[in-house]
Amino acid sequence: MNNTSINYDAENSYILSNEFVDRMSDKFELTVTHLDLVKAPLEHLKQTEMLAWMIPEAQRNGEQKSLVDLFDNLIKEVQQSDVLVIGLPMYNFGVPSQFKAWMDRIARAGVTFKFTEQGPVGLIANKKVIVLAARGGIYACADNDS
C-alpha cells in the first residue's frame, strides 16, 4: 500500500486506502506492506542512476552496483505483490512528485517493461492495481477523468 499525500492532518487518499485495506483484511487473509513515499521520500531520478541500470550487471563498478541495488527492492516489492493499493492525491493536475519518483524507479526497461515495434509492453503480469484517488475539483465524466 502506497501513501503519497503531503496532508498529514487530513489526507483523504490515505484514509480511503487504509479503509479499503482494512475492509479487505476483514474478508481475506492478507499480508500488507506499507510504503510511505512522503515520510520516506525518494530522491528524483538522476542520470548516474539511470545509466547504472543500463550497464550489464557484470560490468558495473561498486558505485553503480549500489545505485542499482538501492531501489531494486521497490521493483521486487511490486513483483512479489498480488495487489497494489495506491493512495493518490491530485496536485496541480498531476500526480505528486513523490509518486513520480517511485514510478521512475519501477519503470525500468528490460525489467518491468520492454520496447517493441508496437510500443512499450509490460513485463509484470497478473497484478491488480487499485488507485484510491483524491481530488479537490470535479472531473467526473470530463475528458480528463482518467
Ligand X SMILES: Cc1cc2nc3c(=O)[nH]c(=O)nc-3n(C[C@H](O)[C@H](O)[C@H](O)COP(=O)(O)O)c2cc1C
Binding residues vs ligand X (CB under 6 A): 5, 7, 10-14, 89-93, 134-137
Quote the CA–CA distance of 33 and 113 in Å, as a whole number.
Answer: 23
Beta carbon of residue 125, minimum distance to ligand X (angstroms, whole number): 30
Q: How far is the CB of 126 from ligand X (least distance, A)?
A: 28
CA dihedral 56, 59, 65, 68 (to 10 degrees): -10
As measured in angstroms, the least distance from the Cβ of 26 to ligand X is 23
Amino acid at position 54, single letter: M
12 — phi, psi (to 5°)?
A: -60, -45
Are 49 and 125 a contacting pair, CB within 8 Å? no
Instruction: Compute the least distance from the CB of residue 96 to ligand X, in Å.
Output: 8
Other Cβ atoms less than 10 A from the Cβ of 9: the count is 4
Helix (H) or strand (E) holding 124: none
